[in-house]
Amino acid sequence: MSDPFVLGGISLTSRLFIGTGKYSRNTLIPEVVASSGSEVITVALRRVDPQSQENIMNYIPSQMTLLPNTSGARTAEEAVRIARLARAGGLGNWVKIEVISDQKYLLPDNSETIRATEILAAEGFVVLPYMSPDLSAALRMKAAGAAAIMPLGAPIGSNRGLKTKELLRILISEVDLPIIVDAGIGRPSEAAEAMEMGASAVLLNTAIATARDPLLMAEAFREAVSSGRKAYLAGLGPVEEAAVHSSPLTGFLN
């Protein structure tokens, strides 16, 4: 069954996006790419050091679509500046906007993110804003020109799963853009659940990077994302609150 996911003009077969930030060694990155089947990888520009042999970019397989992120930015201006540096540095024109002004919980600042989305979308970037799941903010990001919306499932690095499930459901049904669940997913079953709900993709870093066996975990997520997607496409049977009688009580009316 062909079910491509087209984003920013690129047709992707994998709906699992991965990160680069927390691995015990950079050499794990190409291995995780292979096991996860992922085609999109996010990299923090702040970690990129072209002068160093250990430059993280040297470990990213060339077929990957790069999603540079603006992590470290605390204002829209900083995010814009980082995005421009990334593009000038040859990292392509996709950008995940991450504006975090709260260092205690690392929750994204939606209003600064909307501002950065406006500026960068107007400059021709494929903008993917990372956000706290809030409908009106998501709609503004869409109006500002976002290519997809990346709401969090739970705070970064928490591995807590889909704590924001009800809000994600609303975004999925109300925002006419791909919804990519980012942050918080700790288990493959949670990734599958996000996909079953109709998310277009998920982005993971901590869950794979901090697993005892990151490669096996990458494979587990690959399968989970793919089964969740299949279940969504197959159309899950409706969940009924009360038992449904096989002979309806009002059947005599027919």
Partner 1 sequence: MSFYETVLRLEQLPYETLWKQYAAEDVKRALRKERLDEHDLQALLSPAAASCLEEMAQRAQQLTRSHFGHVMQLFTPMYLADFCVNHCTYCSFSSIYDFPRKKLGPEELRQEASVIAASGFRHLLVLTGESRKESPTAYVKDCVKILREYFSSVSIEVNPLSIEEYRDLMEAGVDGLTLYQEVYQQETYRKLHIKGPKRVYRNRLDAPERGCQAGFRSVNIGALLGMYDWRQEAFFTAMHARYLQDKYPECEIGLSAPRFRPYLGEFNPDSEVTDRALVQIILAYRLFLPRAGITLSTREPASLRDHLVHLGITKMSAGVSTEVGGHTQTGGTPQFEISDSRNVQEITDMLTANSLQPVFKDWDILTGDPA
Footprint of partner 1 (CB under 8 A)? 21-26, 45-49, 52, 54, 72, 74, 78, 81-82, 85, 101-106, 157-159, 205-206, 209-210
Q: Which of 22, 96, 163, 165 is catalytic?
A: 96
User: Closest approach of Cβ 52 to partner 1, in Å?
Assistant: 6
- Residue with smaller CB distance to partner 1, 59 or 232: 59
- Residue with smaller CB distance to partner 1, 100 or 197: 100
User: Closest approach of Cβ 163 to partner 1, in Å?
Assistant: 13
- Concerning whether 96 is annotated as a catalytic residue, the answer is yes
User: Closest approach of Cβ 120 to partner 1, in Å?
Assistant: 16
HEC letters along the chain: CCCCEEECCEEECCCEEECCCCCCCCCHHHHHHHHHCCCEEEEEHHHCCCCCCCCHHHHCCCCCEEEEECCCCCCHHHHHHHHHHHHHCCCCCEEEECCECCCCCCCECHHHHHHHHHHHHHCCCEEEEEECCCHHHHHHHHHHCCCCEEEECCCCCCCCCCCCHHHHHHHHHHCCCCEEEECCCCCHHHHHHHHHCCCCEEEECHHHHCCCCHHHHHHHHHHHHHHHHHHHHHCCCCCCCCCCCCCCCCHHHC
- Residue with smaller CB distance to partner 1, 14 or 101: 101
- Residue with smaller CB distance to partner 1, 37 or 155: 155
User: Closest approach of Cβ 102 to partner 1, in Å?
Assistant: 4
For the annotated catalytic residues, the residue numbers are 96
